């Protein structure tokens, strides 16, 4: 007498029947890697190297542009606003420029006149905002920046001299002993005291810089130039220029071509170098994987011949080999991603003195790319696998 099996027993038997091929497939994959550790390790190492380089390059590709742009901002303005026909800019221009920048840059106003020293020598005097210039022109070599004199001490400043920044060439002519001296503009005198010197190797070395408030109060002249260091890609800087032209129609907006063209050229070459290095190393790793998989097929011809003799179809063998290659690519991608994050951080510290933040959005790209590379490398070995003749191989021919 047969006892009918319960529904739960039948379901359990069905699940076991479904799991059997899958577990067998996984065991075969693991066993193939264990028995041929040397070839598996060499192929895995190649994929780890490729994934690590791809991860580092992609992380740097995203961060390097921002970091290089920050470095270029240390070299001064990339946009200049000048009053049309040499006139002064309207009141409130600086506020409109700040609004157009929207926090993505810094602007510094400059007003310039030709004044006279106590012995009648002409000298260029520029009025500016020292706090803004310190942010804009970090490349200036300044011994000490002047500090703003409070309004409560305005009378003392008239007697002791308004603090100014003097160019190194001008200093020898106007204050060789670093003493206070007098300037005159249209008959209006002003006593100034050198607070520090500036050296740039350019026209700034022959000028005297005074705070913009003192400059306007003394001369009655408003700024005629605003220098702007706008951050962003060349396209974003061009968009900023368009916004500035619309916000300040009384000004002529000009790019500082040496800075903008140099920045675009360096960024373009850096990106091209990163991509070229990544492609070259990935192709080299793909060739290494290809040679490893080719050797893998030759080493396992007898195994595949037995599988064919036992009834395995060509599609099954191809799928099994492709699964081995894909598993190799996935394992190499995960290990290489971790190595690549560390490599990118080290490059960022060594070259930009700033960490490169790990971007986990790169992981799917690296994972998919590694699997695709290994599958492409498996195409030729799979074509050789199709030619395996069980009778010939098993006879030892």
Which DSSP string corresponds to 137-166?
-TTSEES----PPPGGGHHHHHHH-EEEEE
User: Would you state the pLDDT for residue 82?
Assistant: 92
Q: How many domains does the chain have?
A: 2
330 CA to centre of own chain: 27
Q: Looking at the structure, tell me whether residues 116 and 190 fall in a common domain.
A: yes
Residues linked to residue 167 through DSSP beta bridges, in sequence order = 198
User: Would you state the pLDDT for residue 278?
Assistant: 72
Host domain of residue 165? 78-255
User: Would you state the pLDDT for residue 34?
Assistant: 59
User: Would you state the pLDDT for residue 2?
Assistant: 47
Confirm if 83 and 224 have CB atoms less than 8 A apart: yes
Confirm if 166 and 185 have CB atoms less than 8 A apart: no
User: Would you state the pLDDT for residue 9?
Assistant: 52
Cα separation, 20 vs 22, in Å, equals: 5
Q: Looking at the structure, tell me whether residues 222 and 82 fall in a common domain.
A: yes
Q: Looking at the structure, tell me whether residues 229 and 276 fall in a common domain.
A: no
What Rg do the C-alpha atoms of the chain give, in angstroms? 36
User: Would you state the pLDDT for residue 119?
Assistant: 85
Answer yes or no: is 14 within a domain.
Answer: no
Confirm if 125 and 208 have CB atoms less than 8 A apart: yes
Give the number of other CB atoms < 10 A from CB of residue 397: 7
pLDDT of 291-335, one tens digit each? Answer: 777 777 676 667 666 766 766 666 777 777 788 778 888 888 899
Residue with tokens 């971790």: 338
Q: Looking at the structure, tell me whether residues 277 and 212 fall in a common domain.
A: no
Residue 241 tokens, joined = 């220029």
Query: Which element (helix H / strand E) includes 175?
Result: none
Give the number of other CB atoms < 10 A from CB of residue 159: 8
Q: Looking at the structure, tell me whether residues 88 and 232 fall in a common domain.
A: yes
Task: Pick out the chain residues at pLDDT < 50.
Answer: 1-5, 12-13, 16-20
Q: Looking at the structure, tell me whether residues 61 and 110 fall in a common domain.
A: no
Q: Looking at the structure, tell me whether residues 295 and 182 fall in a common domain.
A: no
Give the number of other CB atoms < 10 A from CB of residue 107: 25
Sign of CA dihedral 371, 376, 380, 383: positive
User: Would you state the pLDDT for residue 390?
Assistant: 60
- What CA dihedral angle connects 211, 212, 216 and 222, to 10 degrees? 150
User: Would you state the pLDDT for residue 158?
Assistant: 62
Q: What burial letters (b/e) apply to 123-151, b meaning 16+ CB within 10 Å? A: bbbbbbbbebbeebbeebebeebbeebee
Q: Looking at the structure, tell me whether residues 164 and 251 fall in a common domain.
A: yes
Residue 308 tokens, joined = 């064919």
Q: Looking at the structure, tell me whether residues 275 and 339 fall in a common domain.
A: yes
Collect all residues with Cβ–Cβ distance below 8 Å to 281 and sequence separation of at least 6: 49, 50, 53, 54
Q: Looking at the structure, tell me whether residues 108 and 215 fall in a common domain.
A: yes
């Amino acid at each position: 007498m047969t006892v009918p099996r319960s529904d739960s027993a039948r379901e359990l038997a069905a699940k076991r029947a479904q799991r059997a091929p899958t577990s067998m497939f996984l065991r075969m994959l693991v066993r193939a890697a264990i028995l041929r550790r040397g070839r598996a390790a060499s192929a895995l190492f190649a994929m780890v190297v490729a994934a690590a380089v791809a991860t580092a390059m992609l992380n740097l590709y995203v961060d390097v542009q921002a970091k290089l742009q920050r470095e270029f901002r240390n070299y001064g303005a990339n946009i200049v606003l000048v009053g049309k026909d040499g006139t002064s800019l309207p009141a409130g221009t600086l506020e409109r420029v700040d609004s157009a920048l929207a926090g993505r840059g810094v602007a510094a106003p400059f007003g310039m006149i030709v004044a006279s020293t106590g012995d009648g020598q002409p000298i260029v005097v520029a009025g500016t905002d020292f706090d803004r210039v310190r942010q804009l022109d970090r490349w200036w070599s300044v011994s000490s920046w002047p500090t703003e004199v409070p309004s409560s001490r305005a009378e003392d400043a008239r007697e002791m001299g308004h603090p100014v920044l003097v160019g190194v060439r001008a200093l020898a002519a106007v204050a060789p002993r670093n003493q206070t001296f007098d300037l005159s503009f249209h008959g209006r005198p002003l006593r100034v005291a050198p607070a520090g010197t500036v050296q740039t190797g350019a026209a700034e070395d022959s000028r005297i810089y005074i705070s913009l408030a003192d400059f306007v109060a003394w001369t009655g002249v408003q700024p005629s130039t605003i220098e702007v260091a706008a951050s962003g890609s060349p396209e974003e800087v061009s968009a900023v220029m368009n916004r500035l032209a619309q916000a300040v129609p009384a000004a002529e907006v000009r790019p500082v071509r040496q800075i903008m063209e140099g920045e675009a050229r360096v960024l373009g070459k850096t990106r091209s170098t990163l991509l070229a290095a990544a492609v070259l190393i990935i192709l080299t790793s793909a060739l290494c994987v290809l040679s490893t998989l080719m050797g893998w097929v030759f080493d396992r011809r007898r195994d595949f011949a037995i599988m064919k003799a036992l009834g395995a179809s060509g599609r099954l063998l191809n799928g099994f080999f492709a699964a081995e290659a894909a598993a190799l690519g996935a394992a190499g991608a995960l290990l290489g991603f971790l190595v690549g994050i560390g490599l990118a951080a080290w490059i960022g510290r060594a070259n930009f003195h700033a960490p490169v933040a790990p971007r986990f959005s790169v992981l799917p790209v690296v994972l998919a790319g590694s699997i695709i590379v290994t599958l492409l490398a498996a195409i030729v070995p799979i074509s050789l696998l199709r030619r395996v003749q069980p009778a010939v191989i098993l006879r030892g021919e």
